[in-house]
Amino acid sequence: MDKGVLATALGSPAPFGQSQFAFMRGNAFEAKVKADGGAELLRLLYERLGGSSAAPGPDVATPDLSAAGPEGRAARTALALREATAAGGWALLDHPMLALEVAGSPAYLEPDAVVVHPDGRWTVVEIKSFPMIDASAAAAKVGAAARQAAVYVLALERVAAVTEGAEVGHQVLLVCPKDFSNLPTASVVDVRKQRAVTRRQLTRLMRVEDIAAGLPEGTTFDPACAPEELDAAVAAVPPAYAPECLAACELAFHCRARSRAEGAVEALGRSVRGELGGLTTVAGVLAAAAGKEGDPADPTVAALRRAAALRAEALESAAGLRAEAPEAASVAGGGTPEGAAACR
Amino acid sequence: MSLITTLARLEAVDSGRAQPLATVRHRHLTDRPLVLVPLTTAGEAGAPLGALVGTDREAPRLLAVAQPRDRDLRFAFLAELAEAVLPHIEACADVVEPAERNETDPATGKKTKVEVELCLDAAQVIVPSRAGVEFVRLLGRSMRFRRTAEDNPDTPYPAPARVPLLGRWLTHYGERARVPGSSLLLASTDLLNRHWATGQSSLEDQHLGALLSWIDPPAGSSGAEAALRAELARDGEGQLLCPPAGPATDPDFDNRLLAPAIERYDRARTALASAEDGLAADARLGELSAAEREIRSLLARVMLPTWDAVWRGLDLLRQLPEGARAEDRWTRDRWSFTAHRDRVRSGEPPQPRRDDAVTAAQKLASRETAQAQLEAQEALDDPLVLAGRRLAGEAFLGTVSGVEMAYTESKRPSPRPLVTVRTDERPHLGERTKVYRSLDGKPQTAEFVRAEQETDQDGEILLVLRILDRMGRSKEPAPGSVPEPGERIAWTLFEHDQRGGPKLPDPEETPWTHGGPPGADAATRAEQPDPVTPEDLL
């Protein structure tokens, strides 16, 4: 299912897109790193993760991984990994294909490269085009790359489990342009934590069949349907919208509109929800703060009322005094009259 | 986010307009700030695409790079940027007032006052968003190690004359922007978010257009509707009506408009290079400048809405009176500005790529101090901020109900009056907890003695406080230094002024735990310019 098309059909098209400048640079950089049979890439890898093995020479194996269809390519990759491990030398797999079961259905993943060490260790290589300036890169981008690599590590582990003498390294190699140049530099990123988090999330994901079984008979997400029909179909799968979704999901604007229409407090951020205890709607919170609803013995309600009273008092005093004596305020050094009076 | 801020956001959702988070302006704004709206090329690290810059909202200066991969064009852009920004900085650097600074004599360890210059005003720079602040840092880093032909005639690809200097200044501004409460380099979104709570999440608040839509929605429309329009609405060509505030551009703009225009420019340039006679060259030169004009107008089109938005934001902020203590923080900015001016004038090398251990520790400590000071000053300046601290139990407002004189039991008794305060608040007071109030702008300290529970229906309690200082040297307290019954006073549990931490060792004495003193290799590690490759872009 293409969520982007679905979002457009629902009337909230996804705002994502990639600039061709970024796309071209990303491809050009990857091509440069992998030029000459990956000599530069292997040099960087050996420098940082070489261990006690001999340095990779010109005889690095670069198996051909082309095959028909993702299943075929995944099978070819597994075979190439087995052969390379058995051969006991360096091998570079350019764009291998890995399979991972997500929510009960197979997903195919394509890392930038996987390197097989002579000692049977497999290392995931992630090539990114954001710069590493003075040996540090933007934390958010490195984090995203680490999460992505962790998924590859998980998928590789499934292959390694049935391959004798193979082991997947939990340290991945991140290759980026150095400073403002186009020369590659690399850094080792430990993805044990991301791997553990992803693995836990994958086991907790509800299976697609189970979600589908819970839907009413005849539900379809065909974008050709009428928007109302689609809307009802999407609503049948309960969303859990939070502002973070906006950066990742094509349907986020649709979910946000629904979340706002319901007056859910999560639309303002996950932390807001935690702060407000059992109160989940904007109207509910405001009514509780105004003293119209809610149990005063509930600590959240009591705190809200107090916050509302303090806020109203402060705003009133500031507005009242500003209207009353603007010149007095300027005499007091431009400070608020209330603050000046209170802190005398 | 504190509960009181959350409440303001919920009120904004309900009313469809942003709600105030402050009753005064907590950042100093100069009369002539320099607004800088930069754009960068997607995917490239140091390839600016264009900028609008200037101090006059009616006359922005448009700088554009027709082909961001061409080093000469990029250098021309940076040289032009230097010509736009440096005069603004230098105008402030030359107007000074005499000031005094405490200095420790390294030989005797005595503190002496030294007469120094302090710039009367510092040059303020405003960018649209936080990403813009980061971009200023990045520009600074990319320029400050460049060499000009004058520095070293053998430098490959020498930079235009004033580019390294601009790099050093932008680095300083970017670094200063990390100090809480500083106003040398400000992001418009940060400024607005400090003073208003919108009905959207803080993530969405990073969109300048959406943020302004909440604060000042167009007539007949709610903040939420206007913000959605700012986020998503596109014109007939599929371009955003409210382009991103940069430095990143909208991918649709890149793909549909900019890339074809750059391609036309490249073609015109190749055609010009292959022109065979003067007449043909003239015609092709015309095509080339037409292609360049087209790129300039495209860039202007996506930058102008942001330019206007930044100025509109400044207008909104200027409607708030400035907080009393914002001036004090601005003075610190002026000191920082003056210090950098002196470093540049004395010919010191550019800021290093990485700070040494001592400098890093100093920076961290000063930022922590600035953060604590900012929090205290904002609460003292603004009853609405104080309300948040009162809710958290870190401050309280009370009416003085009685004053009882008491003295210390020493040979020369000093006054230690006991003040009883009636309040309905429940501050987190323990025995001998220090509380502070502002007395003529200076903090007066008191300590908590005991609470007397009163069982009236208002839930008010009586707190007994012992005043400790600021009463003069004589036996009788100086007039006005002891609260009078009936006075309503704000007490805080946090200190008003921040003391600096312990003194750090000199760099030569860096302990081994922190890398040890800079050894003999310090000279060889001196900052070298970035190595350049014939083609530094892809």
Q: How many CA atoms lie within 13 A of A263 on its CB side?
A: 15
pLDDT value of position B523 = 53
Distance separating alpha carbons of residues B437 and B414, to the nearest angstrom: 20
Q: Which of A18, A336, A344 sits opposite B382 (nearest CB)?
A: A336
Clarify whether residues B179 and B135 are in a common domain: yes
Identify whether residues B460 and B524 lie together within a single domain.
no
Same structural domain for residues B454 and B362? Answer: no
Domain count, chain B: 3
Residue B520: its pLDDT value, please? 53
Cβ–Cβ below 8 Å for A180 and B204: no
Task: Return the percentage of chain B with pLDDT > 90, whole number.
Answer: 60
Banded pLDDT at B140 (limits 50, 70, 90): very high
- Mean of per-residue pLDDT scores for chain B: 89
User: In this structure, what DSSP letter does residue B40 have?
Assistant: E
Classify residue B322 by its DSSP letter. Answer: B
Q: Name the closest residue on chain A to residue B46, using Cα atoms.
A: A180
Alpha-carbon dihedral sign for residues A43, A44, A47, A51: negative
Nearest to A338 by CA among B321, B170, B248, B432: B321
Whether B269 shows a pLDDT value over 60: the answer reads yes
* Bridge-based pairing state of the strands B125-127 and B185-187: parallel
Residue B225: inside a domain: yes
A212 to each of A101, A234, A328, how far by Cα in Å?
A: 17, 12, 68
Asked if residue B294 belongs to a domain, the reply is no
The predicted complex's ipTM stands at 0.85
Q: What is the mean pLDDT of residues B296-315?
A: 95
Enter the tokens of residue A45: 């890898």
Question: Percent of chain A, pLDDT > 90?
Answer: 19
Specify whether B203 is located in the same domain as B148: yes
Residues of chain A with pLDDT under 70: 1, 324-344
Q: Give residue limits of the domains in chain A.
A: 34-204
Please give the single-letter amino acid code of residue B341: R
pLDDT tens profile B500-537: 777 788 878 888 888 777 765 555 556 677 777 666 55
Cross-chain CB nearest to B380 (options A181, A275, A343): A343
* Residues of B whose CB is below 8 A from A344: 438-440, 487, 489
For residues B308 and B435, membership in a common domain is answered with no
- Is the domain of B348 the same as that of B482? no
Residue B284 lies in a domain: no
Q: How far apart are the first and last CA of chain B?
A: 43
Task: For residues B7 and B19, state if they share a domain.
Answer: yes
Q: If we measure between CA atoms, which residue out of B500, B505, B497 comes closest to residue B368?
A: B500
Q: CA-based Rg of chain B, rounded to a whole angstrom?
A: 29
**Same-domain pairing of B179 and B328:** yes
Enumerate residues 6+ apart whose C-beta is below 8 A from B451.
B429, B461, B462, B463, B464
Highest mean pLDDT among B302-316, B427-441, B505-519: B302-316
Q: Are B339 and B461 within one domain?
A: no
Domain match, B360 and B424 both: no
Residue B266 lies in a domain: no
Residue B87 reports pLDDT greater than 90: yes
Is B112 in the same domain as B12?
yes
Element spanning A110, H or E:
none
Q: How far apart are CA B120 and CA B91, in angstroms?
A: 11
From chain B, pick out residues whose CB is under 8 angstroms from the CB of A243: 200-204
Q: What pairs with residue B53 in β-bridges? A: B36, B61
Whether residue B219 lies inside any domain: the answer is yes
Question: What pLDDT score was predicted for residue A240?
Answer: 84
* Cβ contact A286–B231 (<8 Å): no
Within-domain flag for B263: no
Is B15 part of the contact surface with chain A (CB cutoff 8 Å)? no
CB contact under 8 A, A275 and B199: no
Q: Any residues with CB less than 8 A from the CB of A334 and at least 6 apart, and which?
A: B24, B321, B322, B323, B324, B327
Greatest alpha-carbon pair distance for chain A in Å reads: 87
The enclosing H or E element of B186 equals strand B185-187
Contact across the interface for B43 and A336, Cβ inside 8 Å: no
Is residue B172 predicted with pLDDT exceeding 90? yes
Tell me the CATH number at B441: 2.40.30
* Model pTM score: 0.90
pLDDT of residue B211: 95
> By C-alpha distance, which of A257, A240, A265, A282 is closest to B232?
A257
Full domain range(s) for residue B220:
3-245+303-353
Chain A CB contacts of B488 under 8 Å are 341-342
Q: Which residues, other chains included, contact B283 with Cβ-Cβ below 8 Å and sequence gap of 6+?
A: none
* Lowest mean per-residue pLDDT among A154-158, A229-233, B232-236, B338-342: A229-233
Least Cα distance to B19 among B197, B192, B216, B194 occurs for: B197
Q: Distance between CA B75 and CA B77 in Å, rounded?
A: 5
Residue B519 makes CB contacts below 8 A (sequence gap 6+) with none
Between chains, do A344 and B439 touch, taking CB under 8 Å as contact?
yes
Does residue B71 sit within a domain?
Answer: yes
Contact A91, A84 (CB under 8 A): yes
Is residue A159 within 8 Å of residue A81, measured between CB atoms? yes
Asked whether residue B25 falls in the same domain as residue B161, the answer is: yes
Q: Is B322 part of any domain? A: yes
Q: Say whether pLDDT at B234 is over 90.
A: no
Tell me if residue B196 falls in helix, strand or coil: strand
Measure the CA–CA gap between B429 and B419, rounded to whole angstroms: 15
CA A93/CA A127 separation, integer angstroms:
14
The DSSP bridge partners found for residue B184 are none
Token look-up 């102008």 returns B304
Q: In chain A, what residues touch B46 (CB-CB under 8 Å)?
A: 131, 180
Q: How many CB atoms are located within 10 Å of the residue A271 CB?
A: 14
Total Cβ atoms within 10 A of residue B527: 13
Please write the tens of the pLDDT for every residue from A286-303: 999 988 888 888 888 989
